[in-house]
Amino acid sequence: MALETPNHTQTVAGWAAYDSSGKIAPYIFKRRENGVNDVTIQVMYCGVCHTDLHHVKDDWGITMYPVVPGHEITGVITKVGSDVKNFKLGDRVGVGCLAASCLECEFCKNSQENYCDQIQFTYNGIFWDGTITYGGYSDMLVADHRYVVHVPDNLPMDAAAPLLCAGITVFSPMKDCQLLESPGKKVGIVGLGGLGHVAVKMAKAFGHQVTVISTSPSKENEAKQRLGADYFLVSTDAKQMQRGKRSLDVILDTVSAKHSLGPILELLKVNGTLVVVGAPDRPIELPSFPLIFGKRAVKGSMTGGMKETQEMMDVCGKHNITCDVELIKPDKINEALDRLARNDVRYRFVIDIAGTSKL
Ligand code: NAP
Ligand code: ZN
């Protein structure tokens, strides 16, 4: 049970999973009052990330039930703390994975709060007052303004919501691999789901040649025609994978389930980099031969810092990058999670929390 301090006075309606069956049901809980550094947000939309599915099912063995998932949140500011200067009432804003960090370590000081070792997440985290954090599957959120970003005016709030996690999670490693400033690279995206489809759009917008590596042949046409991918490799087809050998500079792996990195590494040129962002519950296989024979590197990346998240939102505004979403009402969350588990979504479910869309 969540600890509740006396200033947790605001009653919020949300949706939670109560145990590892992962079934979601309505949940009424309390949030803190709006502090001097906080903004209160009326939640409009919340994306359904595969991380939500990992949490409700306790795939990673860390879930504190009841868990209110949701870290792809867009909404409108309804209260502003006295020390908050960069947000005002009515602002269109977004909240992603981060709720708090120490603000003092080298990573916090260097706009990489996502790597602070005291990081607390938007849900299933423990806030400074000892309470468990609850996410965006709820009608209202109180957030420290340092973990809130502006949503550019030209981006619709529903299709922008998944940028707050899926978007930043693929943007950050692309930036890290210099893909923003040096076009013309050959980029591979493994797994065409929520993260993968935004990655394709971003990599194309940044001027790269994009290869999707997928287990789903049925996604090929859409990947090329709608998302703009140049090539599509079916990862279970050894011949296709053979043809793609040594062709890519950078690969992002967004796969949510256990798999081997060996065949994926073979697609990299000598000195190429594979960035793993997918987080399967079991270790992925990393054979040494494709690593050493191609002097290749494998690294990870976790979401992004707040400055970078605002930059990503602005870049998406500039290039008009939004997510392909399937809007659902809250009473369809269980169905959506079941379909997500079956890899049956194009490409992100987004919950219409405020009921403002015509569904
Ligand atoms: P998603 O929408 O379910 O997409 C995952 C994709 O992986 C699927 O669409 C599928 O693509 C592929 N896939 C699924 N099962 C597979 C299997 N057994 N073998 C090979 N490929 C398989 O999930 P998502 O929301 O994009 O999240 C992906 C992963 O990233 C999750 O593990 C999530 O927890 C993690 N994540 C990490 C961060 C971070 O900060 N690093 C942030 C957000 C999410 P194809 O049909 O094309 O094969
Ligand atoms: Zn996520």
Q: Is residue 50 part of a domain?
A: yes
Q: Are 195 and 254 in contact (CB under 8 A)?
A: yes
Are residues 308 and 160 both part of a single domain?
yes
| 220-222-225-230 Cα dihedral, nearest 10 degrees | -40
Q: Which ligand sits closest to the CA of 260? A: 1
Q: What is the 48 CA–ligand 2 centroid distance (Å)?
A: 8
Q: Which residues contact 16 (CB under 8 A, 6 or more apart)?
A: 24, 25, 26, 27, 29, 65, 66, 67, 68, 134, 137
Q: Which ligand sits closest to the CA of 54? A: 1
For residue 302, give the ligand 1 atom closest to its CA: 40
Asked if the model's pLDDT at residue 2 lies above 60, the reply is no
pLDDT at 1: 43
As a whole-number percent, the residues of the chain with pLDDT over 70 amount to: 98
Are residues 292 and 313 both part of a single domain?
no
Asked if the model's pLDDT at residue 159 lies above 90, the reply is yes
Alpha helices in 110-257 (DSSP H): 157-160, 166-176, 194-205, 220-225, 238-243
Q: Is residue 289 part of a domain?
A: yes
Q: Mean pLDDT over all residues of the chain? A: 96
pLDDT band with cut points at 50, 70 and 90 for residue 357: confident
Asked if the model's pLDDT at residue 6 lies above 80, the reply is no
pLDDT at 11: 96
Q: Nearest residue CA, atom 35 of ligand 1?
A: 278
Q: Are 168 and 309 in contact (CB under 8 A)?
A: yes
Q: Is residue 93 part of a domain?
A: yes
Q: Nearest residue CA, atom 39 of ligand 1?
A: 302
Q: Is residue 2 part of a domain?
A: no
Return the structure tokens found at 294. 């191609």
* Mean pLDDT, rounded, for 304-322: 98
Q: Which ligand sits closest to the CA of 197? A: 1
pLDDT band with cut points at 50, 70 and 90 for residue 4: low
Are residues 181 and 284 both part of a single domain?
yes
Tell me which residue range forms the domain holding 116: 8-165+304-352
pLDDT tens-digit map of 51-82: 999 999 999 999 999 999 999 999 999 999 99
pLDDT tens-digit map of 262-299: 999 999 999 999 999 999 999 999 999 999 999 999 99
Domain stops at, among 300, 315, 331: 300
Are residues 202 and 250 both part of a single domain?
yes
Are residues 16 and 44 both part of a single domain?
yes
Q: What is the CATH number of the domain that holds 16?
A: 3.90.180.10
Q: Is residue 281 part of a domain?
A: yes
Q: What is the CATH number of the domain that holds 275?
A: 3.40.50.720
Instruction: Scan for tokens 């709608």, then name that residue.
Output: 226
Domain stops at, among 300, 322, 337: 300
Are residues 175 and 157 both part of a single domain?
no
H helices, E strands: number in the chain:
11, 17
pLDDT band with cut points at 50, 70 and 90 for residue 358: confident
Q: What is the 60 CA–ligand 2 centroid distance (Å)?
A: 14
Record the pTM.
0.97
pLDDT tens-digit map of 222-233: 999 999 999 999
pLDDT band with cut points at 50, 70 and 90 for residue 356: confident
Q: 259 CB less than 6 Å from ligand 1?
A: yes
Q: 248 CB less than 6 Å from ligand 1?
A: no
Are residues 83 and 37 both part of a single domain?
yes
Q: What is the 221 CA–ligand 2 centroid distance (Å)?
A: 26
pLDDT tens-digit map of 160-219: 999 999 999 999 999 999 999 999 999 999 999 999 999 999 999 999 999 999 999 999
Are residues 14 and 144 both part of a single domain?
yes
Are residues 138 and 77 both part of a single domain?
yes
pLDDT tens-digit map of 14-64: 999 999 999 999 999 999 999 999 999 999 999 999 999 999 999 999 999
Are residues 144 and 195 both part of a single domain?
no
Are residues 293 and 172 both part of a single domain?
yes
* Mean pLDDT, rounded, for 136-150: 98
Q: 303 CB less than 6 Å from ligand 1?
A: yes
Asked if the model's pLDDT at residue 359 lies above 80, the reply is no
Instruction: State residue 36 phi and psi, 5-degree precision.
Output: -65, -30
Q: Is residue 261 part of a domain?
A: yes
Tell me the angle at which helices 306-319 and 194-205 cross, rounded to the nearest 10 degrees: 70
For residue 190, give the ligand 1 atom closest to its CA: 47
**Structural domain total, the chain:** 2
Are residues 129 and 178 both part of a single domain?
no
Q: Is residue 1 part of a domain?
A: no
pLDDT tens-digit map of 318-350: 999 999 999 999 999 999 999 999 999 999 999
Q: Is residue 284 part of a domain?
A: yes
